[in-house]
């Protein structure tokens, strides 16, 4: 679901086909009929943005027909745990959970706790959202004060046990509701339910695959939660052939999350410290509970080892390992907020390191206006991309909103070395690191990022060498002594040396570490990323392992290295039953070897090696030693998988269907229309199309979605310049159904333009029956889609599809809702120049779009409270076009509800 694997991850899809030839049933549930659908046993189209309604229906089907894998659910999930009496579900609050604060549109999550689980520290929900706190649990689960001593009802009958709460919460997600909301017929829906449940259990497993079709929503994290709940109820997690597989879009996007270039994370998913953390101890207390179970309890070991790698000798116990050198966050510093700050003149310099936001980020116009209002911009890329040349080829040149002679931004373009001209590791989508050898040297000024950052750091340190300013100490004390290769003033730093330091060393012996279990908080180990400890186990670069697949079993442990500890299936203790025996012979992966007193199997066991299946920890025990023999989820604070999330997810402990921010449909399940905690930026330069209960939505009556083609790559910087790929996919198009083509007078291969309150974009029309109009609650809804790879540069050019989108974010991840919006489509080409601005202004006038449109997120009927939003206030100033051509003056009409 939410994935077009055959076209976006083509070579990975061979395994789906392999499974199909071995008898697996392949279901494709996705708005578009694609090559994935063509090869699947069944394609079920649904309305973009309605996936939780569909998945909720599957959960309801499983629970009301007792189709769950009960033994697995009872032993390995939190189904039997009791939840606090104070918890109130969406059933009783018209779509809200208890703890909602209408002033900040965030939740105080304290009422979602387990009974006699200790309440969470009082960090308000708004801060959690601003810091994208939901995303900070990439390796360790969210904190619980205690992992033992939680009240349970093993019979799963107690009305406040997770299992019963789940049942009630999803009881209204009936096949009829699925039909009305998603446009999926009852028969199709039940066929999916039957196929999914019958392919699960002791003897069978089913895998769930998703991609950005799930993440790029205002409740993307909850889509994934819903999928995970199904997979847990059916016993499909931690077992061979099961799992929830995120197919990520870039060669090392997994790596850039593990070793993050993200504002709210340090390496290994340690959160960035907050302004309110008094010191290291305070920080550690806030990210893990004193008595919680599992390996995240040892977060202090991971943090101190990182600080020792950052500041070497200068970090000691006396100075708290220089925790004070870390800059603090205190809100939203995400890329979209930052771009708005650029427009408002608060950011001065911007580095673009292999990324092309002028085309690739939502709301391209916002991106380009931000770039046009900087002191300086650095672009490092293989080729000349739009983001480096916005001052001469942005669409705003034509409209007069950017004028080169008046644009003050200095731009530095540095040519980059390619993947064959440098060595290093990518982490692919299954957490596997693969080392690349350097094949040839780069030409001219082409350099690696490693070179660029290393030497920039060296120059900065030289310039500040004699500074006595306290703020320069972190830079002066930085361990920046990486090995270099070659001579001259600017030699190439050694990626191998950097990887060794990421892996970590024992500072008392100088030996490379074998595993994160060796990390210590007493300053005797240094490691850059604790989850990568072991990539250099035994002094060998394991990411370079290349034993041929024909010379090893299918787990292929000798090809590359997967974090953590080279485990290929996470939580694989769950592939055995509570007694440690494989659930079935066919689905054998890891089991307890009683004779040798240890876990063993085809994969590296993801469990304390010698903790026997029947082990019971003492009450109040903490850390790895507190894991019971049947606690497979070793990074979770209670050792169990969470059907219900008592903390860590900021927009609700359970997934709930809300309509997308822009939708032609009212929410048929609750009065609450959209996600009540979604992050909205109400600014004149970020208008929204109206959605119920607002009026004016009929001006943008169609559902819009965007996606990838096989032959191009994201913003096109690595594909539109290539003759082969450009020839294969030469032009931007918009795909529509024959019915919509008839309704709007669109002709196959002729021009049309797609319009939102942000932009109008030209494209060739592609009329096919692959786009099917959906019948929803008695009305017909049309969907259109466009690939988003084009821009003004390259061998093939076209309008920028991302310009159509506004910025509204998932509060857990601060990822934008770019997989669904509303739009209009008209035959012929769009107006150009100033006329385009007038054309868009006219659309906004007709739809009644103001700064307030979409900003009143609370629409639930909160009876008895006067907190209900007016919902329809349109008194705010009409969105005006920005004054052209000067983009430097902050627009005083902007109003920021999120501030």
Partner 1 sequence: MGVSDWIRSWPVYRQLTGADRLGRGDAAASPQSRERQPRTADADRVAASVCPYCAVGCAQNVYVGSDAAGERVLQIEGNPDSPVSRGRLCPKGSASKQLVTGDHREDRVLYRPAYGTEWQELDLPTAMDMLADRVLDARRKGWQETDAHGNPLRRTQGIASLGGATLDNEENYLIKKLFTALGAVQIENQARI
Q: Name the residue nearer to ligand SF4 (CB basis): 418 or 515.
A: 418
Helix (H) or strand (E) holding 506: strand 505-506
State which residue, 251 or 475, has the beta carbon closest to ligand SF4: 251
Per-residue DSSP letter, 651:
T
By CB atoms closer than 10 A (0-12, 13-18, 19+), residue 595 is: exposed
- Residue 276 neighbours by CB under 8 Å, 6+ apart: 330
Looking at beta carbons only, is 275 or 877 nearer to partner 1?
Answer: 275
Q: Is 441 in the site for partner 1 (CB under 8 A)?
A: yes
C-alpha distances out from residue 826 to 172, 484, 740, Å: 38, 58, 11
Vertex 245 angle, CA 244 and 251, to 5°: 160
Q: In the set 25, 174, 257, 484, which binds partner 1 (CB under 8 A)? A: 257
Q: Judged by CB under 8 A, does residue 869 bind partner 1?
A: no
User: Per CB under 8 A, does 751 bind partner 1?
Assistant: no
- Binding residue (CB under 8 A) for partner 1 from 44, 178, 207, 262: 262
Smallest gap from residue 11 Cβ to ligand SF4 (A): 4
441 binds, among partner 1, ligand SF4, none (CB under 5 to 8 A by kind): partner 1
Q: Which is nearer to ligand SF4, 257 or 429 (CB)?
A: 429
Among 75, 161, 266, 840, which residue interacts with partner 1 (rule: CB under 8 A)? 266
Cβ(47)–Cβ(17) below 8 Å: no
**CB closer to ligand SF4 out of 434 and 579:** 434
Task: Kindly state the smallest distance separating residue 465's Cβ from partner 1, in Å.
Answer: 12
**Alpha carbon 638 to its chain's center:** 24
Residues 211-250 that bind partner 1 (CB under 8 A): 247-250
Shortest reach from residue 16's CB to ligand SF4, in Å: 13
Nearest-CB residue to ligand SF4? Answer: 11
Residue 867 interaction partner, one of ligand SF4, partner 1, none, beta carbon < 5-8 Å per kind: none
254 binds partner 1 (CB under 8 A): yes
Using rule CB under 8 A, residue 351 touches partner 1: yes
- In the set 446, 515, 584, 893, which binds partner 1 (CB under 8 A)? 446
Using CB under 8 A, which of 456, 742, 867, 877 touches partner 1?
A: 456
Strand partners, 850: 878
Query: If you count them, how many residues does the chain have?
Result: 899
Q: How far is the CB of 474 from partner 1 (least distance, A)?
A: 4
Residues that bind ligand SF4 (CB under 6 A): 9-11
346 binds partner 1, rule: CB under 8 A: yes
Residue from the set 406, 747, 768, 873 that interacts with partner 1 by CB under 8 A: 406
The β-bridge partners of 680 are 808
- Which of 158, 169, 239, 544 binds partner 1 (CB under 8 A)? It is 544
Determine if 330 is a binding residue for partner 1 (CB under 8 A): yes
The DSSP bridge pattern shows strands 590-593 and 779-781 to be unpaired
Q: At what angle do helices 51-64 and 220-233 cross, to 10 degrees?
A: 20
- Rounded Cα distance between 599 and 554, Å, is 19
Contact 213, 639 (CB under 8 A): no
Query: How many angstroms separate the CA atoms of 653 and 646, rounded?
Result: 6
Cβ-contact 187, 789 below 8 angstroms: no
Among partner 1, ligand SF4, none, what binds residue 249 when CB lies within 5 to 8 Å by partner kind? Answer: partner 1
Range 751-789 burial, b when 16+ CB lie within 10 A, else e: bbbbbbbbbbbbbbbbbeebbbbbebeeeebbbbbbbbb
Considering only 411, 574, 576, 759, the residue that binds partner 1 (CB under 8 A) is 411
What is the chain's alpha carbon radius of gyration, rounded to the nearest angstrom?
Answer: 27
Q: Which stretch binds partner 1 (CB under 8 A): 354-362, 578-586, 741-749, 772-780?
A: 354-362
Nearer Cβ to partner 1 (47/380): 380
Q: Which is nearer to partner 1, 468 or 550 (CB)?
A: 550
Q: Which residue spans within 200-342 are E strands per DSSP? A: 208-210, 244-246, 265-266, 270-271
Q: Which residues have CB under 8 Å from 419's CB, separation 6+?
A: 251, 436
Does 490 bind partner 1 (CB under 8 A)? Our answer is: yes
**Of 150, 366, 604, 815, which lies in the binding site for partner 1, with binding defined by CB under 8 A?**
815
Q: Which is nearer to ligand SF4, 726 or 756 (CB)?
A: 726
Residue 375 is a binding residue for partner 1 (CB under 8 A): yes
* Conformational region of residue 132, where left means phi above 0, alpha means psi within -120 to 50, and beta covers everything else: left
- The whole-angstrom separation of Cα 380 and Cα 89 is 49
Q: Which 685-714 positions form the footprint of partner 1 (CB under 8 A)?
A: 710-714
The secondary structure of residue 110, as a DSSP letter, is G
- Tell me: does residue 896 bind partner 1 (CB under 8 A): no
Q: Closest distance between partner 1 and the C-beta of residue 207, in Å?
A: 15
Q: Which range of residues in 162-170, 380-388, 518-526, 677-685 is near partner 1 by CB under 8 A?
A: 380-388
Nearer to ligand SF4, 9 or 882 (CB): 9
The two three-digit tokens of residue 547, written as one number: 């034993």
**Count of residues that bind partner 1 according to CB under 8 A:** 162
The listed partner (partner 1, ligand SF4, none) that binds 365, CB under 5 to 8 Å by sort, is none
Query: Which region among 118-126, 320-328, 767-775, 845-853 touches partner 1 (by CB under 8 A)?
Result: 320-328
CA 874 – CA 850 distance, rounded (Å): 7
306 near 267, Cβ under 8 Å?
Answer: yes
Options 27-35, 548-556, 831-839, 871-879: segment touching partner 1 (CB under 8 A)? 548-556
Gap between the Cα atoms of 782 and 625, Å rounded: 56
CB of 712 to ligand SF4, least distance (A): 11
Pull the structure tokens for residue 108: 């105080």
Q: Which pair of structure tokens corresponds to residue 768? A: 């096919």
Min dist CB 467 to partner 1, Å, is 10
| DSSP-assigned beta bridge partners for residue 484 | 493
148: left (phi over 0), alpha (psi -120 to 50) or beta: beta
10 is a contact residue toward partner 1 (CB under 8 A): yes
Binding test (CB under 8 A) with partner 1, winner from 186, 194, 276, 846: 276
Q: Work out whether 449 is an interface residue with partner 1 (CB under 8 A).
A: yes
| Residue 624 near which of partner 1, ligand SF4, none (CB within 5-8 Å, type-dependent) | none
- 471 touches partner 1 by CB under 8 A: yes
For helices 364-371 and 335-343, angle between their N-to-C axes, nearest 10 degrees: 50
Q: How far is the CB of 718 from ligand SF4 (least distance, A)?
A: 10
Residue 540 within binding range of partner 1, rule CB under 8 A: no
Listed ranges 80-88, 436-444, 680-688, 820-828: which one lies at the site for partner 1 (CB under 8 A): 436-444
Phi first, then psi: give them for residue 784, nearest 5 degrees. Answer: -130, 155
Which pair of structure tokens corresponds to residue 483?
């090995």
Give the Cα separation of 557 and 653 in Å (integer). Answer: 36
**Binding of residue 484 to partner 1 (CB under 8 A):** no
Task: Give the strand pairing for 525-526 and 505-506.
Answer: antiparallel
Residue 899 binds to partner 1 (criterion: CB under 8 A): no
Residue 306 CB: number of other CB atoms within 10 A?
25
- Report the alpha-carbon distance of residue 805 to residue 823 in Å, rounded: 10
Question: Measuring CA to CA, which residue among 856, 841, 840 is closest to residue 694?
Answer: 856
């Amino acid at each position: 679901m939410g994935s077009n694997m055959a076209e976006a991850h083509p070579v990975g899809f061979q395994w789906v086909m392999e499974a199909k030839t071995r008898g697996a049933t392949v279901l494709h549930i996705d708005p578009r009929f694609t090559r994935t659908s063509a090869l699947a046993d069944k394609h079920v189209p649904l309305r973009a943005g309605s996936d939780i309604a569909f998945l909720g229906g599957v959960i309801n089907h499983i629970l009301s027909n007792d189709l769950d894998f009960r033994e697995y659910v009872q032993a390995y999930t939190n189904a039997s745990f009791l939840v606090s009496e104070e918890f109130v579900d969406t059933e009783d609050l018209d779509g809200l959970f208890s703890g909602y604060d209408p002033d900040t549109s965030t939740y105080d999550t304290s009422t979602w706790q387990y009974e006699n689980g200790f309440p969470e520290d009082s960090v308000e929900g708004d801060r959690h959202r601003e810091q994208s706190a939901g995303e900070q649990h990439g390796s360790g689960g969210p904190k619980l004060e205690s992992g033992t001593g939680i009240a349970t009802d093993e019979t799963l009958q107690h009305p406040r046990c997770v299992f019963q709460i789940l049942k009630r919460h999803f009881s209204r997600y009936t096949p009829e509701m699925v039909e009305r909301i998603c446009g999926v017929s009852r028969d199709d829906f039940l066929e999916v339910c039957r196929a999914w449940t019958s392919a699960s259990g002791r003897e069978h497993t089913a895998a769930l695959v998703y991609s950005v079709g799930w993440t790029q929503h205002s409740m993307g994290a909850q889509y994934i939660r819903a999928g995970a709940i199904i997979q847990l109820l059916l016993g499909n997690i931690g077992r061979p052939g099961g799992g929830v597989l995120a197919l990520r879009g870039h060669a090392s996007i997994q790596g850039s999350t593990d070793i993050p270039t993200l504002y709210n994370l340090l390496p290994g998913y340690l959160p960035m410290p907050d302004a309110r953390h008094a010191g290291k101890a305070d920080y550690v207390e806030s990210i893990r509970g004193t008595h919680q179970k599992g390996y995240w309890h040892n977060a202090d070991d991971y943090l101190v080892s990182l600080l020792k790698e950052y500041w070497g000798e200068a970090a000691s116990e006396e100075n708290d390992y220089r925790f004070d050198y870390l800059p603090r966050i205190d809100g939203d510093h995400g890329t979209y907020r930052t771009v708005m700050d650029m427009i408002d003149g608060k950011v001065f310099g911007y580095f673009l390191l292999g990324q092309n936001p002028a085309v690739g980020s939502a709301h391209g116009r916002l991106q380009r206006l931000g770039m046009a209002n900087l002191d300086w911009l650095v672009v490092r890329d293989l080729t000349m991309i739009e983001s480096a040349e916005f001052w001469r080829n942005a669409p705003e040149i034509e409209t007069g909103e950017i004028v080169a002679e008046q644009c003050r931004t200095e731009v530095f373009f540095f040519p980059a070395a390619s993947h064959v001209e440098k060595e290093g590791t990518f982490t692919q989508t299954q957490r596997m690191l693969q080392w690349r050898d350097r094949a040839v040297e780069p030409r001219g000024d082409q350099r690696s990022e490693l070179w660029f950052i290393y030497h920039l750091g060296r120059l900065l340190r030289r310039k500040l060498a004699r500074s006595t300013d306290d703020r320069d100490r972190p830079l002066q004390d930085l361990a920046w002594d990486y090995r270099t290769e070659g001579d001259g003033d600017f030699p190439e730093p050694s990626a191998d040396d950097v990887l060794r330091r990421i892996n970590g060393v024992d500072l008392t012996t100088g030996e490379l570490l074998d595993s994160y279990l060796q990390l210590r908080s007493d300053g005797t180990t240094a490691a850059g990323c604790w989850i990568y400890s072991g990539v250099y186990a035994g002094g060998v670069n394991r990411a370079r392992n290349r034993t041929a697949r024909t010379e090893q079993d299918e787990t292929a442990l000798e090809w590359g290295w997967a974090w953590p500890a080279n485990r290929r299936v996470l939580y694989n203790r769950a592939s055995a039953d509570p007694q440690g025996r494989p659930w079935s012979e066919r689905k054998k992966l890891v089991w307890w070897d009683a004779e040798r007193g240890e876990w063993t199997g085809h994969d590296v066991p993801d469990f304390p090696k010698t903790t026997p299946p029947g082990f019971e920890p003492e009450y109040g025990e903490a850390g790895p030693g507190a894991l019971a023999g049947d606690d497979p989820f070793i990074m979770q604070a209670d050792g169990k998988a969470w059907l219900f999330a008592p903390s860590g997810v900021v927009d609700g402990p359970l997934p709930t269907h809300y309509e997308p921010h822009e939708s032609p449909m009212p929410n048929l399940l609750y009065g609450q229309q959209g996600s009540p905690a979604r992050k909205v930026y109400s600014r004149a330069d970020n208008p929204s199309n109206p959605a119920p209960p607002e009026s004016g939505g009929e001006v943008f009556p169609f559902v819009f979605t965007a996606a990838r083609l096989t032959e191009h790559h994201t913003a096109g910087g690595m594909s539109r310049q290539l003759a082969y790929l450009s020839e294969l996919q030469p032009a931007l198009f918009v795909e529509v159904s024959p019915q919509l083509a008839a309704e709007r007078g669109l002709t196959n291969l002729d021009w049309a333009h797609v319009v939102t309150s942000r932009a109008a974009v030209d494209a060739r029309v592609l009329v096919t029956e692959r786009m099917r109009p959906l019948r929803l609650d008695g009305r017909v809804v049309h969907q259109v889609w466009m690939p988003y790879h084009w821009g003004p540069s390259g061998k093939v050019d076209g309008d920028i599809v991302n310009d159509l989108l506004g910025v509204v974010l998932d509060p857990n991840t601060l990822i934008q809702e770019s997989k669904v919006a509303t739009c209009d489509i008209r035959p012929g080409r769009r107006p150009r120049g100033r006329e385009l601005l007038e054309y868009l202004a006219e659309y906004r006038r007709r739809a009644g779009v103001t700064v307030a449109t979409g900003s009143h997120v609370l629409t639930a009927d909160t009876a008895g409270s006067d907190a209900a939003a007016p919902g329809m206030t349109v008194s705010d100033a009409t969105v005006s076009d920005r004054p052209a051509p000067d983009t430097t003056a902050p627009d005083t009409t902007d109003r920021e509800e999120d501030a």
